[in-house]
A and B are shown apart, each in its own frame.
Chain A
Amino acid sequence: MADRKIRQVKLSLTGNEAGAFALKQANPDVAAVFPITPQTELMHAFSAYVADGAVNTEMVYVESEHSAMSATVGAAAAGARAFTATSANGLALMWEIVYIAASLRLPIVMPVINRALSGPINIHCDHSDTMGARDAGWIQIFCENSQEVYDSLLCAFRIGENKKVLLPVMVTLDGFIISHTTEVVETIERDEDARAFIGPYEPWISLLDVDNPVTMGPLDLQDYYFEHKRQQVEAMTNAPAVIDEVFAAYGELTGRRYERVEKYRTDDAEVVLMSLGSTAGTAKEAVDVLRDEGLAVGHLKVRTFRPFPFDLVREALSGAKVVGVLDRSISFGAQYGPLCTEVMAAVHGKDVEIRNFIYGLGGRDIFVEQIAETGRSLYDLMRGKKDLPPQSYIGLRE
């Protein structure tokens, strides 16, 4: 620890402030923003850095979220390091261009404050917004706390811009629960050190490079479209190794080491709980409660939802008899929520019982005791004392 070359400083920041601070240190070339309801204070905080001259970023104020992503795509196609931030309905409105950003292989970075989609109108946390974009071709990193928001955003540029990847990256944080909560965040003290970690941007393509003219986004019909999709698959396939490499380098620099999944007391666990985002922290508390009761329970957090860490999840669940997957979004008409569907695919063919729990929609709170109770019922299931349906709910009035 002591021989680390950089100095770090602990700050008290909300998730929004932590995100804006990371982006300030990254100093991207262009940011586009539109304050849709509910917009995020993240861009508000970032515009203050622009106004104060703390960054050289050119801010483009547009007339809708659709335009915000369009402007970001335009800037990235011109060879700029570009970002925008959004939330809930804002992400829904920009969706058409979200898909295009990935298809054009533009390594845009976008924090998304996870909030429920309307209607009815709700501004609180769930993961419906980013789950709606899970097949858009973006890398998705879910953050448990403000520290992870800061760290993941600095890593996101290096991951997306890697020549083997060239994909846009979404970094998600739970609305209000993380976005508006003040926490300790350890930050790299000097902006130059953070920038050095990200490295200078060398765009793989630029519409402004007149010596090497290119066409982007033209008509691409039956003859080549399929092959281009296959290339995106290839990029996603390459991403895990690059993510691991960037996380390792970041760990070397800061001492904060991340993996695509985070195991908590899973080694000897018979029952494993799984979740994304801020709930992972609450679930770890619940695991400690259950361990004190003598139950061998662990928790597995998924950090990168896209690409989904199938190999790591399969390996981490190799000793588990029962797995309870907590989903903070719902896939209407599907048997399981989005996270559980992936877990089922990851453990396919293994002798393990999986149960899915939908919780927390529209910001409904989730408490340690509720997760602990879920763990106990899964333990009862394992012992044959209880049956549980494939999917049920936590914290729902019925």
Chain B
Amino acid sequence: MKKMTEIIWHGRGGQGAKTAATMLAAMAIHEGKYSQGSPEYGPERQGAPMKGYTRISSDPVRIHSSIREGDVAVVLDATLLKTVDVLGQLKPDGVLIVNTTKSPDELRAELGAPPSVKVYTVDATGISIAELKRNLPNTPLLGALVKVTGILSLDTVVEDARVKFGKKFSSDVVEGNIRAIERAYREVK
């Protein structure tokens, strides 16, 4: 068993890659694991490619650099696959989770992903628009991520999301987010 899982979140400024990276870290900590969540800070323009990093481990996380080659890559915006070398930043036997309406097989063929990479897709944007009336793919992708990796329990994610969003938003928004997480958990392929 590997002790540490390293996750890279690929998104565009404003899509919530930073929030997802740090929320997931907080959720892991809540489950009693050690974790680290950080955004990669650049010019921080709306729409510009950016990354977030999460490390989850059974032991204290001492390393303090960015992640060059992750165990998991989560792509919040499939258009990034054209400009960002996502596979180049993923381990040969890594897990790729993409927000797209395409099937894993279609996407694998399109990317030329090697057979050793496990490819998963989920329509996080469609789910988000249906449940939240907004394109915020980060929360449904948290649901997809925990389903695919089993790194945290869905209960932790739902419970923590309820607490975190509950501090800021109306109960409609909170429950919309919960439904989005649960749907992505069920629908990721």
Contacts and interface: CB of A to CB of B under 8 A. Distances in A.
Interface of A: 10-12, 14, 123-124, 144-145, 174, 176-178, 180-184, 278-279, 281-282, 284-285, 365-368
B36 A367 contact: no
A324 B175 CA distance: 54
A182 B64 contact: no
Contacts of B41: 123-124, 176, 180
Contacts of A181: 36-38, 64
B63 A180 contact: no
15 contacts: A11-B29, A12-B25, A12-B30, A14-B22, A145-B62, A176-B41, A178-B64, A182-B29, A183-B25, A184-B29, A278-B64, A281-B62, A282-B62, A367-B65, A368-B63
B22 A183 contact: no
A174 to B, nearest CB: 7
Q: Select the residue from B30, B36, B64, B68 with max chain A CB neighbours within 10 A.
A: B64
A278 B64 CA distance: 6
B64 to A, nearest CB: 4
Given A10-B29, A12-B25, A180 B64 contact: no
Contacts of B68: 367
Given A10-B29, A182-B25, A184-B29, A176 B38 contact: yes
A85 to B, nearest CB: 19
Given A182-B22, A182-B37, A183-B35, A281 B64 contact: yes
Interface string B1-43: 0000000000000000000001001100110001111110100
Contacts of A285: 62-63
B34 A184 contact: yes
A184 B60 CA distance: 9
B66 interface: yes
Contacts of A282: 62-65
- Interface residues on chain B, size class: 20 to 34
B111 interface: no
Nearest to A147: B60
B130 interface: no
Given A124-B41, A176-B41, A183-B35, A12 B26 contact: yes
Given A177-B38, A183-B36, 18 more contacts: A10-B29, A12-B25, A12-B35, A123-B41, A124-B41, A145-B62, A174-B64, A180-B38, A180-B39, A180-B41, A181-B38, A182-B26, A182-B38, A183-B35, A184-B60, A281-B64, A282-B64, A366-B65
B61 interface: yes
Interface in B151-189: none
A282 to B, nearest CB: 5
A181 B39 CA distance: 8
Contacts of B29: 10-12, 182-184
Most B Cβ at <10 Å: residue of A177, A182, A365: A182
B65 A365 contact: yes
Nearest to B39: A180
A302 to B, nearest CB: 16
Contacts of B22: 14, 182
Contacts of B25: 12, 182-183
A178 to B, nearest CB: 7
Interface in B30-83: 30, 34-39, 41, 60-66, 68
A150 B34 CA distance: 17
What are the 5 tightest A-B residue pairs by CB atom distance, in nearest-first order?
A281-B62, A12-B26, A181-B38, A278-B64, A12-B29
Given A12-B26, A367-B68, A184 B38 contact: no
B183 to A, nearest CB: 26
Contacts of A365: 65-66
Contacts of B61: 183, 281
A176 B65 CA distance: 11
A359 to B, nearest CB: 11
A285 B66 CA distance: 14
